[in-house]
Structure 1
Amino acid sequence: MIDKDPHRAVLALVPVAAALICAGLIVLLRPLLQRYALARPNARSSHLTPTPQGGGIAVMAATALATALTSYLGTPYPDNAIPVVLAAAFCLAAVGMIDDLRPIPVLPRLALQLAAVALLFATLPSQLRILEAIPLVLERGLLMLGLLWFINLVNFMDGLDWMTVAEMLPMTLALAAFAFVGEAPIDILPIALALGGALLGFAPFNRPVARLFLGDVGSLPIGLLTGWCLLELAGRQHLAAALLLPLYYLGDATITLFRRMANRERFWDAHRSHFYQRATDNGFSVGQVVANVFLLNALLAGLAAVSIAIPSPPVDAAMLVIGTLGVLAVLVRFSRSRAVG
């Protein structure tokens, strides 16, 4: 835990700086994105008119600059993980930017993503263990595949105005709080604060009806940054908390994937089969969908906090059961037609 007052003041500046930088960059970049990076409606879209994408450029730049602010002003961090993690995130951002402008075939895209994940895993110390019952090499292989899936599911779930904001704000706030009190590695603190602040700066431009989308240039590196934070949290023996924070995304995306595979659909193609997308077809407004997701994620963050505060396998199991029931309740709610009264 950081316990010096000057450092606390610096940390308070990080999300504010990130929000201001992000909003300022969006104002500057939006005319260019309007001209060269329009997202036209397709099978996956929830929008009806061409809308500029690429807001992730501002989000990532603001995250990096605000994170750098902590080092410039003297806040101490124990190793050099942050620069490597940001480098991996910007590699993914570059892949996403190319894919936004000219779609990359599936296999090359996954190969490039896997290379960025491998770069990130180079920062993980060998003593970081999550699945201690299996050999380290096998564990790292499974975690790399898991992170690759998480990066893509964050991308899949970025299909509605404010959806990524509603998911990531509670998650980054919780991660920052856990790091601040010493229950997660201190390295994740500036990343979580900066990313949360940057998303706040992006939020006004993405509010329904959105004037700007993140694009893959934003959703892919956001998935990597938050996935890294969750791995670090799990490495502190808080696996239940690391599963609870993204549980809605994990539930919606994974159930949708298996359902499409069971129906022998081309699951890698663009689609509108996610529960949150079906909710808008069932009469929910965009605001109602993201409000449900935000409140659910606030609940999941609270359950994660309980699992950390009371370290006990039965408590972890109870929090996971409650969280799973909450996620299932929202998914069922989204699957049913909403009565219009």
Structure 2
Amino acid sequence: MNQATDALAAMPSLLAVAIAALMSAFITWTSRPLLQRYALARPNARSSHRIPTPQGAGIAVIAATLIVASVWAAFAGVTIPPALIAATVLIALVGFADDIVSLPVLLRLGLQAAAVGAVVFTAPDTARIVPALPLALERSLILIAGVWFVNLVNFMDGLDLMTVAEVVPVTAALLLLGWLGEVSWPAALIAATLCGGMLGFAPFNRPVAKVFLGDVGSLPIGLLLGWCLLELAWRGQAAAALLLPAYYLVDSTLTLLRRIARREPFWSAHRTHFYQRATDNGFSVPRVIGEVFLLNLVLAALAILTVRAGSMAVTSFALSAGAVAIGFVLRRFSRPQAS
């Protein structure tokens, strides 16, 4: 370990989680009156909520994540990429503008691509997933995947506590991998504070939610989470980086492909994600969230197993088991429940 790692490892990382949680909860609580006045999400045919609810509490989550991570990193001598901080602020501003006045799709995607590109193309040339590919091609593919990941996190933020049920298990697993030396400390630190930020937000978002994240939260959460997973993949753990967010990836991608096949306007809001269909099929919101949370714990365990085992046979088993588990949950969500 280097000096920075020693310093951070010697400190209780859970303290960073706790401080970020408290800061996020405090900012959410104090900002609710303003959000109620200026950023009210009114229900429509595609909404899962039934009463007007303020949105924009993602400001609290992102502020807590970046502030606590930056202060902690400075104290421990750890460097968080400046491009990541700047890109997160940019994409949060894009989300905030979209929460207040809906932005044109192309403008929104262009700004998102600029934010993701700033992170991807400023990474060291030694950071590779598939060294056999030309660097420019690999980075371009990562850029496309990054923009998709940012948007799919936004798409999946359509039910009370859904993003909490996804982000908390993933970031907790990344923090554990950081303790085990399998993830860079900057990524582990961002994961820890993002986990705390989401935990502080959770009491306000439990059914029936008092406040939503809004695009100002879901978009930068997607960017930060995607960067942490990319750091994991750059360390030779691509299977784990796929397993951790696999439920989100599969639900969003299958839904997108299905809408394209039906020639639907796939870029517009809708209620055809599997988790949304589950509520239409008789599942209660707590039941959907509970099953997604348990599924993500299983996927996190499988991801950690692939990293620690370092075996192709174990990795193949974990990927297969993860696919079966996701398929089982999606099938349940797709079928009406007996009354």
TM over 0.5: yes
Counterpart position of 1:29: 31
Deviations 1:242-287 (A, max 9, x none): 0000000001000000000001101011100000000000000000
Alpha-carbon distance in 2 for matches of 1:229, 1:198: 15
Q: Which amino acid aligns with 2:199?
A: L
Counterpart position of 1:247: 246
Alpha-carbon distance in 1 for matches of 2:104, 2:249: 24
Alpha-carbon distance in 1 for matches of 2:122, 2:136: 15
Query: Is 1:85–1:123's contact at 8 Å kept on the other side of the alignment?
Result: no
Alpha-carbon distance in 2 for matches of 1:16, 1:123: 31
Deviation at 1:133, TM superposition (A): 2.5
Query: Is 2:73–2:186's contact at 8 Å kept on the other side of the alignment?
Result: no
Matches within 5 A, 1:189-338: 189-338=188-337
Deviation at 1:27, TM superposition (A): 1.4
**Alpha-carbon spacing, 1:99–1:5, altered in 2? closer, same or farther (3 Å):** closer
Query: Is 1:172–1:195's contact at 8 Å kept on the other side of the alignment?
Result: yes
User: Match of 1:182, SS?
Assistant: coil
Alpha-carbon distance in 2 for matches of 1:34, 1:231: 36
Pick from 44, 52, 55 the counterpart of residue 53 of structure 1: 55
Counterpart position of 1:70: 72
Query: Is 2:147 the partner of 1:145?
Result: no
Query: Is 2:176 the partner of 1:174?
Result: no
Alpha-carbon distance in 2 for matches of 1:123, 1:288: 42
User: Could you list the runs of 5+ residues in structure 2 that have no partner in the other structure?
Assistant: none
Deviation at 1:49, TM superposition (A): 1.1
Deviation at 1:10, TM superposition (A): 4.7
Deviations 1:127-170 (A, max 9, x none): 11112231111010001000100000000000000000000000
Q: Which amino acid aligns with 2:163?
A: T
Query: Is 2:204–2:211's contact at 8 Å kept on the other side of the alignment?
Result: yes
Counterpart position of 1:115: 114
Alpha-carbon distance in 2 for matches of 1:120, 1:71: 18
Q: Which amino acid aligns with 2:235?
A: R
Alpha-carbon distance in 2 for matches of 1:123, 1:180: 26
Deviation at 1:80, TM superposition (A): 4.6
Counterpart position of 1:104: 103
Q: Which amino acid aligns with 2:293?
A: F
4+ aligned runs moved over 6 Å, structure 1 = none
Pick from 18, 31, 34 the counterpart of residue 16 of structure 1: 18
Compute the TM-score of the two structures, normalised by the length of structure 1.
0.96
Query: Is 2:39–2:56's contact at 8 Å kept on the other side of the alignment?
Result: yes
The CA RMSD over aligned residues, in Å, is 1.4
Alpha-carbon distance in 2 for matches of 1:330, 1:301: 16
Deviation at 1:84, TM superposition (A): 2.3
Compute the TM-score of the two structures, normalised by the length of structure 2.
0.96
Deviation at 1:64, TM superposition (A): 1.1
Deviation at 1:6, TM superposition (A): 7.3
Alpha-carbon distance in 2 for matches of 1:63, 1:247: 23
Alpha-carbon distance in 2 for matches of 1:123, 1:176: 24
**Aligned residues, how many?**
337
